[in-house]
Amino acid sequence: MFRHAVQTRISLRPTFTPHVSTCRWYSSVPAAQRLRVNGDRLWDDIHYTAQYSAPSPGGVTRLCADENDKLVRDWFRDQVTKLGAEYKVNNTGSQFAKFGGEDDSIPPIAMGSHLDTVATGGRFDGPLGVISGLEVIRSFKEQDIQTRAPLVLINWTNEEGARFFPPLGSSTVYAGQSSIDQAHASLSNDGSGVTMGSELAKIGYVGDGPNTFEEFPISAHFEVHVEQATDLEGADKSVGWVEGWHGITYYEVMFTGEDGHANTYPMYGRRDALIGAAKLITQLETLAYSHNGYTTVTNIQSGPWGACNIQSKTKVVFCLMHKEAEGLEDMGAETVRSIKGIAAQHGLEHYLARPVHLLPGDFWAEAVDCVRRACGDKGIGSRTGTAHDSTMTRLKCPTAMVFVRAKDGISHCAKEWSDKGDCEEGALVLGKAVLNFDAYLKERAGKT
Amino acid sequence: MFRHAVQTRISLRPTFTPHVSTCRWYSSVPAAQRLRVNGDRLWDDIHYTAQYSAPSPGGVTRLCADENDKLVRDWFRDQVTKLGAEYKVNNTGSQFAKFGGEDDSIPPIAMGSHLDTVATGGRFDGPLGVISGLEVIRSFKEQDIQTRAPLVLINWTNEEGARFFPPLGSSTVYAGQSSIDQAHASLSNDGSGVTMGSELAKIGYVGDGPNTFEEFPISAHFEVHVEQATDLEGADKSVGWVEGWHGITYYEVMFTGEDGHANTYPMYGRRDALIGAAKLITQLETLAYSHNGYTTVTNIQSGPWGACNIQSKTKVVFCLMHKEAEGLEDMGAETVRSIKGIAAQHGLEHYLARPVHLLPGDFWAEAVDCVRRACGDKGIGSRTGTAHDSTMTRLKCPTAMVFVRAKDGISHCAKEWSDKGDCEEGALVLGKAVLNFDAYLKERAGKT
């Protein structure tokens, strides 16, 4: 009677140990030291593109493949083609803007993030990463800085999973953790049955590649992002090098009970799916505190509709977060026990899936080192509490992230804010890290 | 910071004591004793009209003003016009089929119920009441039974509140507890913003009256309904006279917290509206058991969408039921305390409305007596645990209900079932009750 299935779609072990150790330099290479970026232009673009939003007082609501996502994508295309990019859109809608280097036989160094946002989100989380990359490209051109490796600027699709579940909709495909078909079939969180594939097609953003690392290898991936925590603020630092990430697991649970009349059916013996879901949500809070972890329920849908029905089907999506792999696994095991206990207590069937399971891990030392040297004394080391497109690319190539100080650590909220000077510093660190990595590649090539 | 508003839209005190005592007869009047109904035709119509349904294995899903509701309404119109009815549709979509009596100066005796169903409901709750009325009219015609008072058969709109909240969408207007504008503005439970008025207009069922009792008075209202409990089954009886109803209160609560990142935001200090809602649902279960009452949460909606957002807005609709007025009031008071406590604990604002508050009460003794005598030894007295259109009409005129035995008391479920013989008995009792009441009216007129 009780079906219990755990499906794991993205199961990511901690990153493997980088095969190359840290660089010999202790500060940025000379070209990086000379680099300047245009903070005014960067700041203008952040606020200019915030116009592409559904009504969202003080913030931005630009969900994957909605009409505003189309507008900001068109804007991005126009900017990069003006700069002479070789421009492509892949099957899952990600935009790739490639710029030649001195030696185009080398896989490009990538800068990437996402222009989609969550609902009622801010104007920095993801756009800051893409616009910082754009600012680096512009500054390199203006300052006649030519890298040996080509460069590519990427706007990844559906990083947030705000409209379509699961998140990291395109970078999972790139990293071989999902397929184009699976990504296209990602369902809207509103239960409407709309898919990412159909909505991308509607806005004209289903291209023909490149889709995977194998098809389009990159030498490294660097991403600027707001910190979403208060380490930098606490240390009074503008920027940070991101050493790794905490663990995150997403679960989808569907409780199925039985229909019945809301007013007349006795309480005892009911099979009320929503009561089961409510008890799970309540228990998860206690569970997370007791394990020193975090949890958030991000979606609930219940039916049948109506004023007079016992709820016979309730779906809950939630995430568990923990700094330690063991803590995450323990929380997961206890969660599964909770779900089984609740199902038994209320006579519910349950279906359980685990579409994301990301154990904590470290970014690539040689890439992190390039960011660390670029930060200099303006930054500190930190870790991210969430997944990013970079947590996918690191499965394939040296990857590191640049953190920009975020006011009160607030994110996914209209109150999300980073100061202009910090944003400028973040873009500068990104450019310097790319130049450091380009020099590292040259150094490594010289050695072989 | 915390807003607390209780809005009461329908506040119904227990019914006033009927101004006329019970009749002098102890069994049905002679015309009623001779009455027969056609059980085959009744049964056929129940199953024939069940075709007007969205896919709903074993049951019926015919929500107010959907395409199937239009089809069954058209069918009803055709049936009653074939029988020579004076046919009208009112502003809130209710269908009135009037048949002349010997003295058309008397307000008609009404038989009414609803052809709309809940989602994933059965084929008896409400259609049985309308189709039984239709069978009575047909049988009267065939058996040349002429009542002194005219008769009217009513299909009331949105009784269930399955699609649009609140329920009893048209009978509340008729009884002066709501207005046409309020009824038209009833919002869809799916949060789409669609209203009952706009959807009724789409299927061509916004007519011009009669809308209120004052505009179209009736002498009495009789309604057949499946029992939705097991009293008849336990007593091995086909039918029952419904003496009154238990108390029901509906609440709408909206918790409002603050947006934030689902993965990175610390647990402590969050303002998570969904956690608040889950705790409320969990507490309500305990509260209902401890008060010897019932409760059901019938709708939950939470936002913002997405895989990465703390839920900042969660709306919950629920009902409390109790046999005693004091018990219902006590549960309500404790519920309000729970809501305030949860809001304080999680830093949530809350908005609270009480759109339905129906204290327990009794139907009109003279109408109940007509049903009791019609049942004879085939029935027992019982009470309903839910609201019906009859709980509205009783505010204006003598009203009573006929219960038909329901298998295991199951309702609002594909498993809802009443045997053919019991349905036939229910329709027969309805016809007899109408004839008994017609005689009672004549008797009373003779006295004055």
DSSP string, A157-198: SSSS-SSEESSSTTHHHHTTSS-HHHHHTPEETTSS--BHHH
Neighbours of A334 (CB within 10 A): 17
Whether A342 has its CB under 8 Å from any CB of chain B: the answer is: no
First to last CA, chain B: 62
Q: In terms of DSSP bridges, do strands A220-226 and A379-384 run parallel, antiparallel, or are they unpaired?
A: unpaired
Whether residues A261 and B321 touch (CB distance < 8 A) is answered with: no
pLDDT tens per residue across span A17-70: 344 444 455 788 999 999 999 999 999 999 999 999 999 999 999 999 999 999
Q: Where are the beta strands (DSSP E) in A23-148?
A: 86-89, 95-99, 109-113
Residue B210, preceding peptide bond in cis (omega within 30° of 0): yes
Beta-carbon contacts of residue A448 (< 8 Å; ≥ 6 apart) = none
Given a cut of 90, whether residue B306 has pLDDT beyond it is: no
Give the CATH number of domain A26-245+362-447; options: 3.40.630.10, 1.10.10.60, 3.30.30.60, 3.30.930.10. Answer: 3.40.630.10
Given a cut of 60, whether residue B360 has pLDDT beyond it is: yes
A12's enclosing H/E stretch is: strand A8-12
Whether B409 has its CB under 8 Å from any CB of chain A: the answer is: yes
Residue A217, preceding peptide bond in cis (omega within 30° of 0): no
Given a cut of 90, whether residue B324 has pLDDT beyond it is: yes
Given a cut of 60, whether residue A8 has pLDDT beyond it is: no
> Would you state the structure tokens that stand for residue A126, as one six-digit string?
């993801």
| Residue B45 amino acid letter | D
Angstrom distance (rounded) from CA A54 to CA A261: 39
Q: Indicate which of B10, B261, B410 best probes the interface with A, i.e. most A CBs within 10 Å of its own CB.
A: B261
Does the domain at residues A247-358 carry the CATH identifier 3.40.309.10? no
Give the pLDDT of residue A25: 59
Handedness of CA B403, B238, B296, B183 (dihedral sign): negative
Residues 378-397 of A with CB under 8 A from B: 384-387
- What are residue B367's phi and psi, to 5 degrees? -80, -40
State the average pLDDT over residues B381-399. Answer: 97
Which of A106, A178, A175 has the alpha carbon at shortest distance from A394?
A175
Whether residues A298 and B262 touch (CB distance < 8 A) is answered with: yes
Give the pLDDT of residue A191: 81
Whether A228 has its CB under 8 Å from any CB of chain B: the answer is: yes
- What are residue B430's phi and psi, to 5 degrees? -60, -50
pLDDT tens per residue across span A258-316: 999 999 999 999 999 999 999 999 999 999 999 999 999 999 999 998 889 999 999 99
Nearest-by-Cβ selection for A261 from B190, B260, B412: B412
Whether residues A414 and B282 touch (CB distance < 8 A) is answered with: no
Q: What is the DSSP string of B330-369?
A: HHHHHHHHHHHHHHHHHT-EEEEEEEEEE--EE--HHHHH
For residues A209, A213, A219, A224, the Cα torsion angle rounded to the nearest 10 degrees is 80
Can you give the residue ranges of every domain in chain A? 26-245+362-447, 247-358
Angstrom distance (rounded) from CA A382 to CA B382: 69
Nearest-by-Cβ selection for B414 from A259, A294, A410: A259
CB B226 within 8 A of CB B121: no
Domain B23-245+362-447 classification at class level? alpha beta
Residues 1-60 of A with CB under 8 A from B: none
Check residue B57 and report its DSSP letter.
T
Angstrom distance (rounded) from CA A73 to CA A202: 14
For residues A139, A141, A147, A150, the Cα torsion angle rounded to the nearest 10 degrees is 110
Measured between beta carbons, which residues in chain B are less than 8 angstroms from residue A303?
Answer: 119
Please state, rounded to an integer, the average pLDDT across all residues of chain B.
93
pLDDT tens per residue across span B186-206: 999 888 899 999 999 999 999
- The ipTM assigned to this model is 0.90
Provide the β-strand partners of residue B238: none
Is the pLDDT higher at B221 or at A1? B221
Is the pLDDT higher at B343 or at B306? B343
Measured between beta carbons, which residues in chain A are less than 8 angstroms from residue B306?
Answer: 118-119, 160-163, 189, 298-299
